[in-house]
Chains A and B, each alone.
Chain A
Amino acid sequence: MDIVYVVSVVVVLVGMLAVLKRVISGPTLLDRLLGVNVIGTKTIVLLALIGFLADRPGFFLDIALAYALINFIATIAVLRHFEARFRGRASAVTEEEPS
């Protein structure tokens, strides 16, 4: 059964690389934020898979839960930080990020 977990880990890692490309190239701030958030979500899955690979799922699922909470709070914190930048714009998604 280990081969299933190894393949799953590789697939998740490839998915993270694809999202990382979006985080690096942008083009807008919200694209990057969403990318970082997706990477965080994939990290939770990765932690669960590593837990099953290491035969200690309970141990790693605790870490994954805490990671999910911190990921959620961090995303809201970063969005609150940039809230003023989005305010008053028709669409922050389509506009270029000011340098």
Chain B
Amino acid sequence: MRTESVVVRYLALRAAPFIQLYALYVLGHGEDGPGGGFQGGVIFSASFVLLALAHGWPFGRQQVNEKVADILAPTGALIFAGIGVLTMLAGGAFLEYGAFAKAGAEDPEAARLAAQHIGLIGIEAGVMITVAASMAILFFEMSRPPRESKGNDA
């Protein structure tokens, strides 16, 4: 059941993409500001909560494909662990991003820092995917309208 207020419905529809954009901003600034993967994921899924509140549960559910969300949740964890294993394959410890640095770089310290940035953003992206998908799944499963049967939703 969606709201009768056209203001809330219009605003929710227009604000949702900007909330998702802000989630990506929070993800990107996790190193030198407040934020990171978890916060970015929560803000990302908040846009779906807003859509479900303003346009009703079925509309919100349509925005998040159930199967895609179920697949994305473990995929993020896989990215996290996968980067850790990749660093081990590159010769470092688990999640030691410095191992990604090119061996023959003219400035080893700068190369190591750049590799650390890339690795950090990678695992943060994995965390964000997992958190966003899990939060969306949690919200939509807990707020499922009681009269709707389980296999009936799009």
Contact = CB atoms under 8 A, between A and B. Distances in A.
B3 interface: yes
A62 B34 contact: yes
B22 interface: yes
B145 to A, nearest CB: 13
Contacts of A62: 26, 29, 33-35
A73 B49 contact: yes
Contacts of B54: 76
B12 A76 contact: yes
Interface string A74-90: 00110010010000000
Q: Helix, strand, loop or mixed for chain A's interface?
A: helix
B15 interface: yes
A59 B31 CA distance: 11
Interface residues of B, number: 18
Contacts, number: 37
Interface stretch (A15-23, A29-37, A64-72): A64-72
Contacts of B137: none
Contact of A66 (B3, B39, B50, B53): B39
Contact of B3 (A59, A65, A70, A80): A80
Given A63-B34, A66-B22, A83 B3 contact: yes
A73 B49 CA distance: 8
Nearest to A80: B53
The 10 A-B residue pairs with the shortest CB-CB distance in the complex, in nearest-first order: A73-B50, A76-B53, A62-B34, A63-B34, A62-B33, A80-B53, A59-B33, A77-B53, A73-B46, A69-B19
Given A63-B34, A77-B49, 4 more contacts: A59-B33, A62-B29, A62-B34, A69-B46
Interface of B: 3, 8, 12, 15, 19, 22, 26, 29, 33-35, 39, 43, 46, 49-50, 53-54
